[in-house]
A and B are shown apart, each in its own frame.
Chain A
């Protein structure tokens, strides 16, 4: 009996995931964002920056899939709630609907992975100049881990944040306002301000290198502290945390189990954050070559 029920629940979830994927694909904000990303990626991969190649292009998927994903997922969550409300006493629980919405993240992630592949190929085809991003011991994997964190992980995290907003703060206008606040804090935390550099990896989007400049050479490339590899792990933990917090909103959920899982994932996130901060380079590296600008 219970096996049958579990099988039914599984097929319901799969059917709902397919439906939410379709809704995500048809959302006008996603469509515009994906088209812009395709255009920007093509331009970036064919004529990349001389000193950075495609290594700094993570902003595009971060903004066009991650940031826009906040609003897309928040509106899909509202749509799902409205449909459930209209259906009256439905057999589909909020937990199943939340999981189905989370499953729709596969849409932006697929786009982000396509961007990642094109950016890696672009980086291989057009290596950066010696006065650019790659100097000292900075190898390709360091660059790729950073690009993965900025592009692919943002495409997961943004929509999951939107799911959390849709579940906990479903009021009108909250998602756009949260998105604006995210942009404000992200610019501060991306490593351009010296006072945030040592702890900037707390934030889910940041740089690990860039033309941050030194006195007398405002375009000089530098590599910042912290490990982008462990940062990806930290972001995975944050995404899991976001999903668990969204699931906690369900009044019929197994709260005890969910709270336990949330605490465990939060603890893992803290450990990964500390490891991200102490891992990688322990001091800022400055490219010895002048930018010539």
Chain B
């Protein structure tokens, strides 16, 4: 599995995403008030990087090999672990600059990764070879733009700004939004993996 993961995961791209996440969160740590939108940008990168891990450009060939999609998906999560580790370290390192919301920030990143993994693996189950490429092209720019512009922040606080005072977005509502997304993503991911586990090899 390790051998497979070493070759299958796009480590350079995932490594760049993990490194960028560390850089962005360190900048937030240094100048939290001014640089806060980079937190949302980092969350977008985590989602994009996660989706990349599940792409199989040679799906037409590998889908016919004895290794099941479930096994390959499990092997590919090693890339996600790198991203999760970098996010955990980045949030831990910046925790004193996160206005007492380190837990909420950590939740956003983890849910973004979970949702991206759920989407990518369900699209792989449906036979799409490289769902990550398309998802990254949508999720990274849109989450970045959302973190900058923060539309409808009073009713739909995806990324509350800093301490969330005034019209900067309510952290409790945001937590609820991300929890709902996380729960939905978990259901999709578990059902997808269960389905993959039941399928005979080479049926995708």
Chain A interface residues (CB < 8 Å from chain B): 28-29, 32-33, 36, 39-40, 59-60, 63-64, 67-68, 70-71, 75, 172-173, 175-177, 179-180, 183-184, 187, 192-193
| B14 nearest in chain A by CB position | A173
Chain A residues, CB < 8 A from B137: 29, 71, 75, 175-176
Sample of 12 more A-B contacts, CB < 8 Å, known A177-B16, A183-B144: A32-B138, A36-B149, A36-B151, A63-B148, A67-B145, A67-B148, A71-B137, A71-B141, A172-B10, A176-B137, A184-B38, A187-B37
Q: How far is the CA of A52 from the CA of B149 in the complex (A)?
A: 16
Do B142 and A32 have beta carbons less than 8 Å apart? yes
Q: How far is the CA of A67 from the CA of B148 in the complex (A)?
A: 11
* Closest A-B pairs by Cβ, 3 of them: A176-B140, A63-B145, A63-B148
B136 near A173 (CB under 8 angstroms)?
yes
Bound together, the chains give a CA A163 to CA B10 distance in angstroms of 24
Taken together as a complex, chains A and B put the C-alpha atoms of A70 and B137 apart, in Å, by 10
Cβ B27 vs Cβ A33 within 8 A: no
Give B177 Cβ to nearest chain A Cβ, in Å.
Answer: 17
Q: How many A-B residue pairs have CB under 8 A?
A: 83
Interface residues of B (CB under 8 A from A): 10, 13, 16-17, 20, 23-24, 27, 34-35, 37-38, 41, 44-45, 48, 52, 133, 136-138, 140-142, 144-146, 148-149, 151-152
Chain A nearest CB: distance from B202 CB in Å?
Answer: 27
CB distance from B169 to the nearest CB of A (A): 15
Contact of A187 among B38, B141, B149 (CB under 8 A): B38
Nearest chain-B residue to A65 (Cβ)? B145
Our pick among B35, B136, B149 for the contact of A176 (Cβ within 8 Å) is B136
Q: Which residues of A contact B37 (CB under 8 A)?
A: 183, 187
Which residues of A have CB within 8 Å of B34?
187, 192-193
Complex-state Cα separation, A60 to B145, whole angstroms: 8
Given contacts A173-B16, A187-B37, contact A63 B140 (CB under 8 A): no
- Decide: B24 and A176 in contact? CB cutoff 8 A: no
- Complex contact A183–B148 (CB within 8 A): yes
**B27 touches which of A29, A172, A184 (Cβ 8 Å):** A184
Q: Which residue of A lies closest to B140 (CB)?
A: A176
Question: How far is B152's CA from A63's CA once the two chains are assembled, in angstroms?
Answer: 15
- Per the bound structure, the CA–CA distance linking A172 and B135 in Å amounts to 12
Residues of A within 8 A of B141 (CB): 29, 67-68, 70-71, 176, 179
The reply to whether B149 and A63 contact each other, CB–CB distance below 8 Å, is: yes
- Between-chain CB contacts (< 8 Å), 21 pairs: A28-B138, A29-B141, A36-B145, A36-B151, A40-B151, A63-B144, A64-B149, A172-B13, A173-B13, A173-B16, A173-B48, A173-B52, A173-B136, A176-B137, A176-B140, A177-B17, A180-B140, A183-B37, A183-B38, A187-B34, A187-B37
Q: How far is the CA of A64 from the CA of B145 in the complex (A)?
A: 6
Query: Which of B52, B133, B149 has the largest number of chain A CB atoms within 10 A?
Result: B149
Q: With A and B bound together, what is the CA distance between A193 and B27 in angstroms?
A: 13
- Residues from chain A with a CB closer than 8 A to the CB of B20 are 177, 180
Q: Which of A68, A75, A175, A183 has the most CB of B within 10 A?
A: A183
Minimal Cβ-Cβ distance residue in B for A176:
B140
Whether A180 pairs with B142 at a CB distance below 8 angstroms is no
In the bound complex, residues from chain B placing their C-beta under 8 Å from that of A59 are: 148-149
Question: How far apart sit A64 and B143, CA to CA, in the bound complex (Å)?
Answer: 11
Contacts of B146 in A (CB 8 A): 36
- Enumerate chain A residues within 8 angstroms of B44, measured Cβ to Cβ: 180
Q: State the CA gap A184–B34 with chains docked (Å).
A: 11
Chain A residues with CB under 8 Å of B10's CB are 172
Of the residues A29, A60, A184, contact of B138 by C-beta under 8 Å: A29
A179 touches B144 (CB 8 A): yes
Residues of A with C-beta under 8 A to B142 = 29, 32-33, 68
Contact of A60 among B17, B48, B136, B149 (CB under 8 A): B149
State the CA gap A32–B27 with chains docked (Å).
28
Name the residue on A nearest B49 (C-beta): A173
Chain A residue nearest to B57 (CB atoms) is: A172
* B residues less than 8 Å from A36 (CB atoms): 145-146, 149, 151
Known contacts: A29-B138, A36-B151, A187-B38. The answer to whether A180 contacts B145 by CB under 8 A is no
Residues of B within 8 A of A28 (CB): 138
A28 to chain B, nearest CB (A): 6
A210 CB to nearest chain B CB (Å): 11
Contacts of A179 in B (CB 8 A): 140-141, 144
Docked pose: A187 CA to B52 CA in angstroms = 27
CA distance A192 to B31 in the complex (A): 11
CA distance A172 to B44 in the complex (A): 16
